[in-house]
Structure formats: structure tokens, C-alpha cells
Structure 1
């Protein structure tokens, strides 16, 4: 019998691969994403699909926005994927492929395709993936899959996702076509929007605190220099 990887195993692998410290405010985001991906990967009904990959990359990019040093983001992402025994390059390739596809068609065409109403002769592999999802009663739906669907709509028509009524109608059509719960889909996306907003507020607060602390240090340094500066000696 094979022993399933534990969350501790996954975290240990991650920190062995990415050895630099992670900024405090982002560490929680990385670990929550890691745990979410771990629990999915060890589930017997889980199977990889490109929409999920796009969701992972979108979530990572959105929540890691502004991370410093910027060069560490690549290492963190690669360690995150490898810690759950996935290939980072596969995720990037599939996400880029779907992004290019979504931007090349209208939101109505995309919705009809994703919902299995009107197949497009554009990507046979992805078409097969959609059919497999719709025909699999044990398909392992996840929040990251929901984010992937949302991202496709956003790439296709950014204005549509800003219109709550149109966005919800499109998501409901897609959910029905793929035989997943549109109620759960919308709830997961509402939490996603909320978490992005909270992250943005936290980063703004942190930035303000850093600036305020920097100003205080500069003021103290100026005061200190003024007090200790020796008088000029007369020649």
C-alpha cells in the first residue's frame, strides 16, 4: 500500500526547494494555497485539467502581486507546484494556451463552448477535457477551478465580468453545461473577490506603516546629527 503524502510532507518539500524567507503577509497566502492544492492532489477523484491550472496561476499572481523581491516569485511558484508533485511548466503552458484562446473569441462564444452548447474546432485537447468534466459524475470541483473559469471570461471580455448580472448569467450557463453547482461556483468566486480586496487593503496598510516608520527613522537620524554635530574649530 502506498502511503499518502501528508500536509507536513508537502510543506517540508516546499521549504527544502525554496529556502529564502517569505514575507510575513504573503507566507499565509502561499501556505493556504499549498494546503488547498495538496488536499486536492491526494483526493482519489482529482485529475488535472487546464482550467484548474489557469486558476492556480491566476490565484498565485493575484495574491502575490507586489511581492518583493520580485525575483523570488518564480522560485516560490516552482516550489509550490513541485511540493504537490506537479510540473510548473505544464501549468504555465496550459494557462498561456487558454489565455490566448479566450482573448481570441467573444464572451458569448466562450460561454457557449465552455457550456458544451457549441463546440469550436480550435483546441481538440481542451475540447476533450471539457467533455471529460461534463461526463464525469465524480469530477472533483474546486475553488481553483472556479477561478480558472472566471479568468477565461475575464480574458475574453473584461467588461462582462464587471457586470454582475451578465457575469452570473454566463457562469450559470457554464456551470449547467459542465454539470457543476452554479451556487457553489458563485459563492467561491465571491470569497475570491473578497480575499483579493482584503489582501489589497492589507498591503496598503503595510505600505503605509513602512513609510511612516521610515519617516520616523529619518527624523530621528536628522535630530541625532543636529545634536551631536561638533562646532567648527576656529583656525
Structure 2
């Protein structure tokens, strides 16, 4: 009997540790959706939350949103593009995929044309100098589809917004585009999930329009209902990422050239050895 009680105590502690770890790895809403029914009732009574019907709707939404995990998104990408990607690009792709996964499956997520322009700009700049244009586009398509989005639609919307920005002469002209009013409406309604691509999209439009005045970015951010501090912070990270990537590409180029020289030297030595043997 003492041994049985000891084992039960150990099992209870292990279950407590496991439950604590599990709860820390999921979102609060997901945690509510996954606990036992009795615990859910107790939590509702303690918190004095909304009526039962509304609570059930929220729980269902939490389950649906958390049905797709980061591992699922990564697996979709790898299964659709099962080919090796040079490390200088592979690391960046994985990082961006994970980051965008959390935006894509946020409860506030809505498709954004500004974000599409930002993503296309980031992707094309990251993959500048990639060995194959055809493979680059395949990676783009697999990346977007892994997030359950339409790559053709993203390319189209990004191109249209870029073309509009090029024809604009000032920040005031840019914010006249209906996309700003639509984005602000979503932000005001708390139905907008901001991402770093939104910041890049705003910045890219200013670049294309040639609007260099310091207040231009503030004008665009306000028109879209996006916090300027977030935009400036993410633009700093974006520029830092590009700098690191440029350095990594240069290093990889040097490595390729060094290996190429070594291959040439080895081939020359083999040819020389073969010539001597033939004599």
C-alpha cells in the first residue's frame, strides 16, 4: 500500500509538470479549448464570463485557429519543395515562414494588399542573386501556399500597388488609394493583424513614389491605422536583415570561388599525372 501511494504521488507530480509545460506552449484561447469540460465550467464561473452560447462559439474558433501548427506549415512547405536550398537563403526562408505563420493564423488576420507588396519586396530582395529564377519562383509559390494563400493573387496585388505608387507624386497621393481606408477600417475594428510586411509595403510605396520627406512615412502609417513606432522598428530589423544577408551572400560567393579554384587545381594535377603516366 505505501508503494502504491508513492507511485500515485509520483504520477500525479508528473501529470502536473506535463500539464504545466503543455499549457505554456499553447495560446490562452487554445488552452481553454483543450481542457476538460468540468474545468471549462469552473473557469467560466470563476471569471463570470459571457453567456454559454457565445463561449461555445469562442471555443470552436480557438480549436479551428489552432488546428494548423507551425510544424504543419513547415511540413507543407518542405513537402511541396523537397529540394535543398543554399543555407544563406534557407535560414531566411524558415525564419520568415515561422514569423508569418503566427500572423496568418491570428484571430485578427485579414488579407492585406499592403502586406502583399511588402512580402514580394522582401522575397525578391532576399533572393536576389539566387542561382535559378525558375527555382526562386517555385520557392515563392510553395512558401505562399504553405500559408494557405494564393501566390498569383499576391503577385498581382503587389504589382498593382507598386504601379499605383510609381504614378503618385507625394504621400498625399499615395494615401488616396482605397486600400488605406480599408486597412484603417479593419485596424479600428480590431480585425487587423499587423506584420513586418505592412511596414515594408508602406516604405516601398514611398520609395517608388520618390517621397523622401521625413513626415511621409507618418502620413502613410496614420492613414492605414498602423502604429508608426512598430513601422520604424520593423523597418530597422528589415534593413538589418538585408545587411546580414548581403554579407552572407558575399561570404558564400567567396567560398564558391575558392572551391572552384581548388577543383580546377585538382583537375590540373590529375591531367598532369595522367600525362606523365602516358609518357
Per the shorter chain, which TM-score range?
Answer: 0.7 to 0.9
CA distance 1:218–1:185, change in 2 (3 Å)? same
2:171 paired with 1:108: yes
CA distance 1:127–1:189, change in 2 (3 Å)? closer
Encode CA deviations 1:73-117: one digit per residue, 9 max, x unaligned: 11111111111111111111110110110001113334xx43xxx
Q: How does 1:75-86 map to 2 (within 5 A)?
A: 75-86=138-149
Q: Could you tell me how far 1:224 is from its partner in structure 2?
A: 3.2
Aligned to 1:193, which of 216, 219, 239? 239
Q: How does 1:118-157 map to 2 (within 5 A)?
A: 119=176, 124=178, 126=179, 128-133=181-186, 135-157=188-210
Equivalent residues of 1:133, 1:178 under 8 A apart:
no
What residue in structure 2 maps to residue 229 of structure 1?
A: 275
Equivalent residues of 1:47, 1:140 under 8 A apart:
yes
Equivalent residues of 2:181, 2:223 under 8 A apart:
no
CA distance 1:231–1:142, change in 2 (3 Å)? closer
Q: Which has the higher helix share?
A: 2
CA distance 1:231–1:27, change in 2 (3 Å)? closer
Whole-angstrom distance in 2 between the partners of 1:198 and 1:230: 48
What residue in structure 1 maps to residue 216 of structure 2?
A: 170
Equivalent residues of 1:134, 1:177 under 8 A apart:
no
Unaligned 5+ segments in structure 1 are 161-165
Instruction: Return the structure number with greater relative CO, CA threshold 8 A, min gap 6.
Output: 1
2:160 paired with 1:97: yes
2:79 paired with 1:26: no
Whole-angstrom distance in 2 between the partners of 1:218 and 1:179: 58
Aligned to 2:117, which of 54, 63, 71? 54
Aligned to 1:40, which of 83, 89, 103? 103
Equivalent residue pairs, number:
216
Q: Counterpart of 2:238 in 1: which secondary structure?
A: helix
CA RMSD of aligned residues (A): 2.1
CA distance 1:231–1:43, change in 2 (3 Å)? closer
Q: Could you tell me how far 1:191 is from its partner in structure 2?
A: 1.0
Give the TM-score normalised by structure 2. Answer: 0.71
What residue in structure 2 maps to residue 183 of structure 1?
A: 229
Encode CA deviations 1:27-86: one digit per residue, 9 max, x unaligned: 111111111111111110111110011111111111111112221111111111111111
